[in-house]
Chains A and B, each alone.
Chain A
Amino acid sequence: MINGLFIRLEWKQMLRSRWMQLVAVLFVFVFAAISIIQQIALPDMNGFTRQTASFLNLLLFLLPLFILTIGSMGIANDLESGWFSLLKTYPITIKNYILGKYVALVLSFMLILLLAFSIVLGMSSLAGQVHLPLVFVGLSSVTILIFSALAIVCGVVAKSRLHALALSLLAWAFALLLLSYALMAVGTIVAGHTLQKLTIVMIHLNPAEWVRFGYFIFSGQHSVLGPSFYEFTEFYSSLAGLVVYVLVTICWIVLPLLFAGFLLRRKGGQV
């Protein structure tokens, strides 16, 4: 009951936040504008095209950035402002606190996603080039679930809001850009089969790549990745692969939350 109230309170605070409202407007505007421009410019096609690639990249660039910054700064603000110390005087456990923050963050971004997709759906149907694959909706939700958990960790680790912002930007840059560049650089000096194995490892260890890989699997576009990844993609296209995908996704959500709880206990002690 306490947890339900806490989630509601957190969600209300998040929706009232000016920053969150600005982020919502920005995300919805950019997402809708780019989607519509792409859809009008190019014919609607099945398969992995520049249109679908830019749609996917838009989600991967913007959603994690906003989730990580807002989520981590929310927690850091609690710790910095003393709100967390105040909460400790209430009968609320650290587990409930983490869960409350997480659920509120997830719900807020789900609402932003609902607004963005609704606008894209309505406008693209008017533009006559309708394409909003369900797999994008599903993977956007997975992105929110995973990166909200990582945002909580960033917030708990940070000492201040500015520190949280820096940490979340670092995490975002690593996930979206730096790990890929590092792997590409390594690829210039190692053999092709080694690069292929390292890439498979990175797909599992990088949440952004995990979501991107999920797009290829669930949209049936695994041949885009080329013959080098044939066996790997065949496995993930099977039922066993689907189970593993779900399990790894759950790990990406649960483990950061557990880690955040552990860190917070070390920082603030049990309530």
Chain B
Amino acid sequence: MKHLCTILYYFVLLWLIFAMPAKADQLTLQEQIDGTPAGSVLVLEDGVYTGQITITKPITLRGSKHTMLEGNGKESLLRIENVQNVTLENIHITDAHVGIVVKNTSQVNLLNVQLQNVWSGVQIYNSKHVVVNNLKIKGINGHYSKKGNGLDVFNSNDLTISNNKVQDVQDGFYIEKAQAIKLTDNDIKNSRYGIHFMYTEDALAEQNDFNQNVTGIMLMMTEDAQLQNNHVTEQNGLNGSGMVLFEAKNIDVLYNHFQNNRTALSTQKLATSTVEYNTFQMNQTAIELLRSNKENTVYANDFVGNIVNLRSDGTSISISQNYYDDYDGIDFDDNGIGDSPYVALQSFGQWMVRKPSYQYFIESPSVVLLNKMDRQTNAIETEQLVDKEPMMYSAQKATTEWNIQLWQVVTGLTGLVLGLWLWRKEASV
């Protein structure tokens, strides 16, 4: 009996030491947050934390290397509401309807947060002075209509959103009624719109990378925005566009690189805006102008390898000093500007705008010949899509990588020798 009591005593002692959880671990994450004094830092240990969380006091929530917040996929996981000075760092969020909701706040920083398997990543409402940096957002599988956006911003101002990677969502960033917003160095792919501006003022989108979205930047009913130094490539789905500017005013599209898009830049009802110093390379249509006005300018851009450089519905625009690789004029006075105007007007381009079924014929043999004839007959055009000062040289320097592929040289030579030997052998008497 005495032995049995001793064994039982040691068993209870061991259980108390090893099996019973520490008191701090017994607290839920919400309880830990509630217990953290305002202005201090709560460092979360590695581990998986479940349950909804709300932050309503100024604290820093800092995760460790493997800190994960896990939701049930049906509700918003982390809410930051009615508060100033909150920072969220090094957190991994998974399985949530909305990863983070920020509402009625000021001075909120979201840094190094990874969100995956979320319907929507981050939603920001009625907030100001918000920094979102280095977020990685990966949405759910399925059609765009079944997904939320990577980051939503509503009625907010002074936001800096930079160095984020977003993929597989509806819109990478959906910005509505925002003011003074900067979006820089973000990487958005495989989504519907990379950035979707609505009713926004004073926006800057700079050095972002848009790849394989339906549209890189969709800008609607927005004023005073600068879109510059962005890399816009392979928006080449059925209705793919690099940028669509709709009913907007005072928009500057500068120094962007558009490559291999179905339509690189489509403007509709655009006013007092500029498209300058961009490179349009190998797009199906470089610039499409619908219901444009004369105060818009297309200046000093490079058009290289596009199938259609400019097309419009007949509305006019100021076009000057662009470089066109298919310009065949000469420069007698050697001032770098061609002596005859470049006429971008093509019958086929106009038809395609008016009747989309014509798109089947794009760059077909018949259209190529038609364009050649157009160039002769449209030489007298003076108003529509005419650049009176086309540049003779591109601003960009061409680079060629010399990279010899030995197996292809060998295959090519073998085919050539074999072919010639066969011809000679069979043709001999």
- Which A residues are within 8 Å of any B CB, using their own CB? 11-12, 15-16, 24, 40-43, 45-51, 53, 57, 60-61, 111, 114-115, 117-130, 176-177, 180-181, 184, 187-188, 192-193, 195-196, 199, 203, 208-209, 212, 223-230
Which residue of B has the minimal Cβ distance to A179? B366
In the complex, chain B residues whose CB is within 8 Å of the CB of A42: 281-282, 304-305
- By Cβ-Cβ distance, the 9 closest A-B pairs, closest first, are A122-B412, A118-B415, A125-B408, A226-B359, A180-B366, A121-B412, A53-B363, A125-B405, A118-B416
A20-B336 Cα distance, complex, nearest whole Å = 46
B258-317 residues at the A interface, CB under 8 angstroms: 259-260, 262, 281-282, 284, 304-307
**Are the CB atoms of B364 and A180 closer together than 8 Å?**
yes
> Which of A57, A192, A203, A230 makes the CB contact (< 8 A) with B363?
A57
In the complex, chain A residues whose CB is within 8 Å of the CB of B239: 227
**Are the CB atoms of B365 and A130 closer together than 8 Å?**
no
Q: What are 5 A-B contacts defined by CB distance under 8 Å? A: A57-B365, A121-B408, A125-B406, A224-B362, A229-B357
**Are the CB atoms of B365 and A187 closer together than 8 Å?**
no
- Among B97-105, B118-126, B143-151, B396-404, the stretch that binds chain A is B396-404
In the complex, chain B residues whose CB is within 8 Å of the CB of A48: 284, 307, 363
**Are the CB atoms of A177 and B409 closer together than 8 Å?**
no
A271-B364 Cα distance, complex, nearest whole Å = 44
A60-B366 Cα distance, complex, nearest whole Å = 11
- Beyond A47-B260, A118-B413, A199-B357, whether A130 also contacts B306 by CB under 8 A is no
A16-B360 Cα distance, complex, nearest whole Å = 41
- Which B residues are within 8 Å of any A CB, using their own CB? 234, 236-240, 259-260, 262, 281-282, 284, 304-307, 325, 351, 355-370, 400-406, 408-409, 411-416, 418-420, 422-423, 426-427
**Are the CB atoms of A114 and B419 closer together than 8 Å?**
yes
In the complex, chain B residues whose CB is within 8 Å of the CB of A111: 419, 422-423
**Are the CB atoms of A12 and B427 closer together than 8 Å?**
yes
Q: What secondary structure prevails in chain A residues at the interface with B?
A: helix
**Are the CB atoms of B359 and A121 closer together than 8 Å?**
no
A51-B418 Cα distance, complex, nearest whole Å = 28
> Which of A121, A223, A224, A228 makes the CB contact (< 8 A) with B415?
A121
In the complex, chain B residues whose CB is within 8 Å of the CB of A115: 415-416, 419-420, 423
In the complex, chain A residues whose CB is within 8 Å of the CB of B259: 45
In the complex, chain B residues whose CB is within 8 Å of the CB of A118: 411-416, 419
**Are the CB atoms of A224 and B422 closer together than 8 Å?**
no
- Beyond A11-B426, A119-B412, A121-B411, whether A180 also contacts B361 by CB under 8 A is yes
Contacts A51-B282, A229-B360 supplied; 5 other A-B pairs, CB < 8 Å: A114-B418, A122-B408, A176-B365, A176-B366, A181-B366
In the complex, chain B residues whose CB is within 8 Å of the CB of A114: 415, 418-419
**Are the CB atoms of A184 and B351 closer together than 8 Å?**
yes
Which residue of A has the minimal Cβ distance to B239? A227
A251-B362 Cα distance, complex, nearest whole Å = 27
In the complex, chain A residues whose CB is within 8 Å of the CB of B420: 115
A85-B360 Cα distance, complex, nearest whole Å = 47
In the complex, chain A residues whose CB is within 8 Å of the CB of B238: 223, 226-227, 230
In the complex, chain A residues whose CB is within 8 Å of the CB of B411: 118, 121-122
**Are the CB atoms of A15 and B423 closer together than 8 Å?**
yes
In the complex, chain B residues whose CB is within 8 Å of the CB of A41: 305, 325
**Are the CB atoms of A177 and B366 closer together than 8 Å?**
yes
In the complex, chain A residues whose CB is within 8 Å of the CB of B307: 48-50, 53
A227-B208 Cα distance, complex, nearest whole Å = 28
**Are the CB atoms of A130 and B282 closer together than 8 Å?**
no
